[in-house]
Amino acid sequence: MAKSADAFRTISEVSTELDVPKHVLRFWEQRFKQLKPLKRGGGRRFYRPEDVELIKGIQTLLNRDAYTIRGVQRILKEQGVETVKQLAANAAAASIVTAPPTGEAAASEATSNTRRNAGTRKPRATGEVPSVRRDVVAAAISELSACRALLAGETLRVKAPLGASAASSRR
């Protein structure tokens, strides 16, 4: 039997509904003072519908909008709990109404997210690629070029790995 919308929820129910692990919910209680579920005997937590809406807003800011915990704390302090709850409601409505953006729309949305989150994460210059990933990107590009050539019907000259020719001549 399903609970009514006004019913209190246990931590297990909230965890399942929002797909957030229980330990994360407990951690968020420590980090966000505005999140205060009722605690009954034995330490059992019961979340009011308002608490669940706040958790949805926090989850939206952290996961979808890529805010840091400190950034969400700042939003809660400066703009209030109702603003964060409203973000969750807007995010749910937007996900139902619109399909995920592709192409130029996705690039435009990524740019707007970067501007919106500028104060909460470390800025990175456009076009800057960390040196650790540069070699991975270069390898992927060369692999894609080889695939393009194969699809176009061109023959490729594949270089044998070092030592392979010596091993084959011994046999």
Residue predicted with more confidence, 149 or 163: 149
Task: Name which of 61, 64, 65 is nearest 31 in CA terms.
Answer: 61
Angle between helix 81-97 and 49-59 (nearest 10): 70
> Is 18 part of any domain?
yes
Enclosing domain of residue 27: 9-96
| CA separation, residue 4 to residues 8, 9, 32 (Å) | 9, 10, 26
In the predicted structure, residue 32 carries a pLDDT above the cut 80: yes
Give the N- to C-terminal CA distance of the chain in Å, as an integer: 74
pLDDT 10s digits, 89-143: 887 776 655 445 555 555 555 555 544 444 455 444 445 445 546 777 888 888 8
Phi then psi for residue 10, to 5 deg, are: -80, 170
CA distance 76 to 81: 6
Provide the domain count of the chain.
1
Highest mean pLDDT among 27-31, 135-139, 166-170: 27-31
In a domain, 29, yes or no: yes
Q: State residue 74's pLDDT score.
A: 93
pLDDT (0 to 100) of residue 52? 93
pLDDT tens across 39-92, in order?
Answer: 988 889 999 999 999 999 999 999 988 899 999 999 999 999 999 988 878 877
Q: Does 16 reside within a domain?
A: yes
pLDDT at 160: 52
Q: Report if residue 92 sits inside a domain.
A: yes
Q: Give 17's pLDDT tier (boundaries 50, 70, 90).
A: very high
Which helix (H) or strand (E) is 16 found in, with range? Answer: helix 11-18
From residue 72, alpha-carbon distances to 56, 80, 119, 121 in Å are 12, 10, 11, 11
Rounded CA-CA distance 125/24 in Å is 32
Look up the CATH number of the domain holding residue 47: 1.10.1660.10
DSSP code for 41:
G
> Higher confidence at residue 127 or residue 9?
9
d(C-alpha 52, C-alpha 115), whole Å:
28
pTM > 0.85: no
Residue tagged 């302090």 (tokens): 77
